[in-house]
Amino acid sequence: MINEVLEIINKEFEEVYSSSLSLKLLNIYSKIYLDGAQPNYCKAAQQSYYNLLQSEGLQKAKIMDEILKSTHKTNVKGLMYIGKPFCRHFDLENLTDKQATDLLQSGWLKENQFDKLPELYKEEKKIEDEIKKEEKKAKAKK
């Protein structure tokens, strides 16, 4: 992702807009900022996307690379709109471990929707289970 962003921001906007890089610009912008939703195609929108990539695209690309290194694997595909408290679309194939854990804990996603659960979720669940065991032991002693 970082190399793709660099390929775009190392060129002038007119070069990007008048070549096949414009499709790459739209694709990258969609992945980084819209969670896979469709961006606008007009020149003014592409200019603003290009400017945004110029200013913060590398940081966002690094975050996306973190997603690619994620420890979980969903078995569901596509976009999912999640209401309160998130009120946004999530690309289920491109969730960070933190997002996946938050969605699991809030009940929007279920464990059976994952081929592999996020490590963060597993760790938090293990801690919760240990706390519950201790509480049961304390009640049993009373």
The predicted-structure confidence for 49-103, as pLDDT tens digits, reads as follows 999 888 988 888 887 777 777 778 888 888 888 887 888 888 887 787 888 888 8
Are 17 and 37 part of one and the same domain?
yes
Residue 142's pLDDT is 63
Beta strands in the chain (DSSP E): 73-74, 79-82, 88-91, 114-116
pTM summary value = 0.53
Number of domains in the chain: 2
Query: Are residues 124 and 96 part of one domain?
Result: yes
Higher pLDDT, 84 or 114: 114
Structure tokens at 141: 């002693």
- The helix/strand/coil state of 89 is strand
Q: Let me know the angle formed at the C-alpha of 89 by 37 and 84, rounded to the nearest 5 degrees.
A: 160
Structural domain harbouring 135? 73-141
48 and 96 inside one domain: no
Is 87 found in the same domain as 51?
A: no
Domain stop point among 11, 41, 68: 68
